[in-house]
Structures are given as structure tokens and as C-alpha cells.
Structure 1
Amino acid sequence: MSKTTTTRYDVAEHLRTPEEMAAFLETCLEEADGDASFIAKALGDIARAKGMAQVAKEAGLSRESLYKALSGERSPDFDTILKVVRALGLKLHAEPAGSRLRASSSRASSRTTKRRAA
């Protein structure tokens, strides 16, 4: 019987472009379900991918403060989140809750109406 070897997965190794970083953060924002520490951890993963020292400098924070804030063990202040997001070259955005659900259901409704008319 052969032995199975596993390798630890680190998402930061796969976040190479600003587009990948933005897509990762967007997905985490959708999946967080109000868990601020989950978002902080996601920002920490992106910051590690970009380089913690560089992000800390651009955010005006010490590296130690940045590591603590984005460890996922606590919820950082919102102003810290905004500084980090800006330092990462990303933007937060808002949309009405459930808007994606409404958009897909209105498309389905439109298709049903077109079929009935034909």
C-alpha cells in the first residue's frame, strides 16, 4: 500500500494578478455571510500574495499590525480594512442584496414569456 502525501494549499500562491485578487475578494465577500474575520483573512491572503511589507507601507501600518489585523482571529476596524483595500489596489462596491438572484430570475421569466408568445 502506497503512502499518500499531501501538500498544504496556500491561496496566496495563486493570486498573481490584480484581476485574480479582485475575483477572490469578491467571492469571499459573497460567501462571508457577515463574518468580518473571514473577510479580514481573505484580505490577509491577498496581502501575502502582494507582499506584506509593501502593503503595510502603502496602508500606513506596521507589518506586525497588518499581520494581526488580517489574521482572521479578530475583526479589524473598518478604517484599517479601507486602508488595506486601497493599498492592495482594489475597491469595495455595493449592490442591492439579492440583485443577482433577481437578474437571473427575470431572465428566466423573460424566456418563458417569449416562449408563450411564439
Structure 2
Amino acid sequence: MALQTKKWDVVNFLNTREDVVAYLDAALEENDAAFFAKALGDVARSHGMTQIAKTAGVSRESLYKALSVDGNPEFATIMKVMSALGLHMTIESADKAA
């Protein structure tokens, strides 16, 4: 009997605000802009890409492209999507003792 598997998609596990915040926070810790953009795209997909694009004032197609693994979104696009998701970024010292 062959082993049956299903494609794993993080979108299926971003069910709460806490899940989303933890996921994006972990993505930011990687210090990789492309990785964060892809993670933000995952969150946008979990909330409905069409609605997020509309709220952010960008086309759905351009948002998919910008937040893909090969995308290179402008920071303004990141901020628009964060706002559409009801999220914002905060800055803290990398040196926790400072």
C-alpha cells in the first residue's frame, strides 16, 4: 500500500492573530528581505489575497508577484499590506541590554 500524503501549506496553520504575529516575527529574525516578503505573502493568502490587494490599493496579480519567492516588493508595498492586515512593525534594539 502506497503512503498517501498531502501538500503542506503554512496558510492552513495561520488561524489566529497570534499565529500570524509569531510567523512574521520569526520570518523577520532571519534578516532576509525575500524570506519576509514570502512570509507576508503567505499571511495575505491566508486572509484572502483579493481582499488584501483591494484594501492595500494594489492589483491582486502584482501583489502575488511582489510577495512571491522571486518578488522584490518596495517597502511601501510591504507597509500597505501590513496595514491591510491590521498589523504594524515596531523597532527595538538588537542588543536587549541597551
What's the TM-score, normalizing by structure 2?
0.91
Q: CA deviation at 1:43?
A: 0.4
Which runs of 4 or more aligned residues in structure 1 lie more than 6 Å from their structure 2 counterparts after TM superposition? none
What is the CA deviation profile of residues 74-118 of structure 1, one whole-angstrom value per residue up to 9, with x for unaligned ones? Answer: 22100000000111111111111132xx59xxxxxxxxxxxxxxx
Q: CA deviation at 1:16?
A: 1.4
Gaps of 5+ in 2: none
Structure 2 equivalent of residue 113 of structure 1 = none
Structure 1 equivalent of residue 82 of structure 2 = 85
Which of the two has greater helix per residue?
Answer: 1
User: In 2, Cα distance between the equivalents of 1:16 and 1:61?
Assistant: 24
Q: CA deviation at 1:6?
A: 2.4
The count of aligned residue pairs is 98
Structure 2 equivalent of residue 68 of structure 1 = 65
What value does the CA root-mean-square deviation take over the aligned residues? 1.6
User: In 2, Cα distance between the equivalents of 1:56 and 1:74?
Assistant: 15
Gaps of 5+ in 1: 104-118
Structure 2 equivalent of residue 38 of structure 1 = 35
